[in-house]
Amino acid sequence: MAIRCRKCGREAAIMMRQHRLALCEEHYPEWFVEQTERTIRMFRMFDRSERVLVAVSGGKDSLSLWDVLLRLGYAADGLYIGLGIDGGIRYSDQSYEKCRRFVTERWPGARLIVVDVKEVYGETIPEVAARTLRGRDKPCAVCGLIKRYIMNRVAYDGGYAALATGHNLDDEVAVLFGNVMNWQVGYLARQGPVLPASRPGFARKVKPFCRFYERETAAYALLRGIDYIYDECPYAEGSTSIAYKEWLAKLEEERPGTKLRFYLGFLKAREEGQIRFATDEAELHACEKCGQPTSAPGICAFCRLWEKRRPARAVAAPVLSTEG
């Protein structure tokens, strides 16, 4: 027997067991947009008078987030960072093409800001990793450092009220699980839907999709006809976070709603003071090269990456190109 949409009785496009809710291809996207708005208001992320920068990668989560915010009427610009990752599938080229087509075909009035790491700093992510890590590890740590720096700087220098990322519930729960398993107290203190801009030089960071399961964001993208890159980053294979997601998926299969209860329960317990984590408020100063806040002596970790390669490149803000 076909599962029916709760609103109209037609055949459902998706069944969400954790919500005991089935919706059709018309009503599911409406529900998804409404729930995103509810999350934004619940955690006081931003309002319609403020400008938001959405970090887009060409994947389902980030493009869906940008789509939803534009549908809701928010002043949302996109930021794409060209990492220069190939992996035999032209990963970065494909990712950029998805973002470009999203603007030209779906939202021609939207603004897409592009920062090409190779063009600005002289090396791709794999090249930086090969030089600094010398084959000892995957480039993920280097990639994360570079992306965080550029996203924060573009958002802060651009005067945006918030930097929004497409992290979904599966992402957040995997990180939370890993932080608990390893008792990463500092990370546990900061993890949440909103990371305030607590000090000058930092942009506020928000995650409007934090309550959505990954399959829910995928369903929205498919039903909306959003063309996104299906491939994972070539370097993601074998990562610890993927292992955590697989373990948690088994729990979710047996007990629907486990991930959502775990995440929201953690946030509630911390908010109500039932659990507390010591925070290490390191003393910050301006980096001697780029001026961004850092706790490292002298220059920041980002600038140190380029010191031996092209020192002059690291002191400048990212060079932007804009489309749309």
Q: Is 87 annotated as a binding residue?
A: no
Distance separating alpha carbons of residues 134 and 131, to the nearest angstrom: 6
| Side-chain half-sphere exposure of 43, counting CA atoms within 13 A | 25
Q: What count of residues does the chain have? A: 324
Q: Is 49 annotated as a binding residue?
A: no
Among 55, 50, 7, which Cα is nearest to 28's? 7
Per-residue b or e along 169-179, where b marks 16 or more CB atoms closer than 10 Å to that residue's CB: bbbbbbbbbeb
Three-class secondary structure of residue 89 per DSSP:
coil
Distance separating alpha carbons of residues 280 and 190, to the nearest angstrom: 11
Q: Is 210 annotated as a binding residue?
A: no
Q: Is 89 annotated as a binding residue?
A: no
- One DSSP character per residue, 243-275 reads HHHHHHHHHHHHSTTHHHHHHHHHHHHHHTTSS
Q: Is 290 annotated as a binding residue?
A: yes
User: CB atoms < 10 A from the CB of 119, how many?
Assistant: 13
Which residue reads 């998804």 in tokens? 32
According to DSSP, the residues that pair with 322 across neighbouring strands are 113
Distance separating alpha carbons of residues 127 and 163, to the nearest angstrom: 27
- One DSSP character per residue, 111-179 reads -EEEEEHHHHHSS-HHHHHHHHHTTSS-THHHHHHHHHHHHHHHHHHTT-SEEE----HHHHHHHHHHH
Q: Is 56 annotated as a binding residue?
A: yes
Residue type, 213: Y
According to DSSP, the residues that pair with 163 across neighbouring strands are 53, 205
Q: Is 143 annotated as a binding residue?
A: no
Q: Is 312 annotated as a binding residue?
A: no
In this structure, are residues 303 and 314 in contact, taking their beta carbons and an 8 Å threshold?
yes
Phi, psi of 22 (to 5 degrees): -120, 135
Q: Is 225 annotated as a binding residue?
A: no
Q: Which run of H or of E encompasses 21?
A: strand 21-23
Q: Binding site membership for Zn(2+): which residues? A: 5, 8, 24, 27, 287, 290, 300, 303
**Residues making up the binding site:** 5, 8, 24, 27, 55-57, 61, 81, 166, 171, 287, 290, 300, 303
Residues annotated as binding site for ATP?
55-57, 61, 81, 166, 171
